[in-house]
Amino acid sequence: MDEKEKLTQALQAKKENFEEWYPEVIQKAELIEYTKVSGCIIFRPNVYAIWENIMNYFNKKIKAYGVKNAYFPLFIPESLLRKEAEHVEGFTPEVAWVTQAGDTKLDERLAIRPTSETIMYDAFSKWINSWRDLPLKINQWANIVRWEFKHPKPFLRSREFLWQEGHTAFATKEEADADVRYALDLYKDVFENLLAIPVTQGVKTEKEKFAGADYTTTVEIMMPDGKVIQGGTSHSLGRHFSMPFNIKFLDKDGESKYVWQNSWGISTRSLGILISVHGDDKGLIIPPNVAPTQIVIVPIYTNENKEKVLGETKKLSDILSKKFSVYLDDRDGYTPGWKFNEWELKGVPLRIEIGPKDIEKKSVVFVRRDTGEKLSVEMKDIVKYAKNTLKAIQKNLFERAKKMTDEHTKHAKTFEELKKYVENNRVLVPWCGEEACENKVKEETGAKASCIPFKVKAEGNCFSCGKPAKHMVYFARSY
């Protein structure tokens, strides 16, 4: 491998220039391939494997909670989509329609799934008849198509993306409200414990809530470019859908009642968030808890000692593979230095180097992807040190992301202070709750309300109109 090829593989953009760095890293790390349809990408194995780990983790959690997976059609008849007026008004601008099959024009337009409430709830009305049928907890893993925007950014803002959508129905509002928070706490768990990304939990303003919801809760995430992004949402739908879809049950008291419903989802946007938050000038950094390959072993040898070194690395790989996901990079035709660069680019958390001198000393070299720190480890302690090192990497990535979030979080009391900070930060301000004050921020700065954080007490007067504050709210530019 010559120097020109090494240069081609290495990143040219620096992360501080995020708009150039992001598309370069997702291509050179072999995460995506663009297609001829704008906003629709190929998920290559390197990134789909991360999504599989998220799915596996998530499935285990929701199944323990009593959720069952199902699958509903991609195509939704227009008559179903229009059954809930607020919902269809919110989604119509984004809907892609099928109007013709072959040479035959369809009698009714079919929406390509922008979300599945309407087609699911048509079925729920048939499945729910008695209090014995409740609670109903259904999840599906699916693709989604939303068309209305001009500048797609893979994972972060795509026309077609993958997600899970949980849909639940309960006899009482209290049960439904508890379910909303269950899902939101699960998203916090996924981001913080799996992806090493801190989140802010809160509720969306009326203006920003999901179309057709009583209220929307969210996990909001700070990005390195100073914007915020919505990581996952859990919506209380109340009876907005159960009434038009006639989802009723006969209660224990013999009375016919409408169910209380929720929907909640997390998508492959989480992959773009992971890439953006943790990556650096060398490429990706994948947290160990979600990494498809946690450890890569790179043997260092010459023709004279090749057989001996490869024999030892194979033994080492077999030992570590019992506890971790391991890749032994014994490929010929590539120098160790080229391999180091490749695995740094692809974000493998821990690299182990082993050569003839290491074998003589009965040790190996650990190299951390997050810090670049090198550590000599005795072979007899390798499993223990690998476990501790991966744990330390996971913790460090979270702490770095938390520090970045704190640095991009400002507090303001007045509109002038908000405008001063909001260019590259999220800004927490006291707010009266009036939409006019919320709209003023959008009109004058381009920022919008991110969320009203839980457990943050309102203080003082509204940043805009001066009336007594009802909430504290974050404003920020967003994806």
Number of C-beta neighbours around residue 407 at 10 A: 13
Tell me the torsion sign for CA atoms 67, 70, 74, 80: negative
Phi-psi region of 164 (alpha: psi -120 to 50; beta: other; left: phi over 0): beta
- Output the six-digit token pair for 397: 């990535």
Beta strand spans in 119-271 (E): 136-145, 160-170, 200-203, 215-222, 228-238, 248-250, 256-258, 260-267
What are the 10-residue block averages of pLDDT along the chain, 479 residues in total? Answer: 52 94 96 95 98 98 98 95 77 89 96 94 98 98 89 92 98 98 98 98 96 96 96 97 97 97 98 98 98 98 94 96 98 94 97 96 97 96 98 98 98 97 97 97 96 95 97 96
pTM: 0.95
Q: Write down the residue that tokens 């019992």 correspond to.
A: 322
- Give the pLDDT of residue 1: 44
- Output the six-digit token pair for 176: 């439904």
Q: What letter represents residue 216's amino acid?
A: T
- Output the six-digit token pair for 142: 């699916």
User: H or E stretch including 411?
Assistant: strand 409-411
- Output the six-digit token pair for 123: 């079925």
For the chain, which domains are there? 17-278 (3.30.930.10), 295-389 (3.40.50.800), 409-476 (3.30.110.30)
Q: What letter represents residue 333's amino acid?
A: G
**Cβ proximity of 164 and 141 under 8 Å:** yes
Number of C-beta neighbours around residue 436 at 10 A: 9
Number of H helices, E strands in the chain: 14, 23
**What distances in angstroms separate CA 433 from CA 203, 429, 470, one per listed residue?**
13, 11, 6
- Output the six-digit token pair for 18: 């995020």
Number of C-beta neighbours around residue 340 at 10 A: 17
Q: Write down the residue that tokens 């930060």 correspond to.
A: 425
- Give the pLDDT of residue 458: 95
**Cβ proximity of 398 and 197 under 8 Å:** yes
In 3-state terms, what secondary structure has residue 272? helix
**Do you know the residue count of the chain?**
479
- Output the six-digit token pair for 361: 């000393």
In 3-state terms, what secondary structure has residue 264? strand
Q: Reduced to 3 DSSP states, what percent helix, strand and coil does the chain have, rounded to the nearest 5?
A: 35, 30, 35
- Relative to beta strand 228-238, strand 215-222 is antiparallel
- Output the six-digit token pair for 194: 């799996």
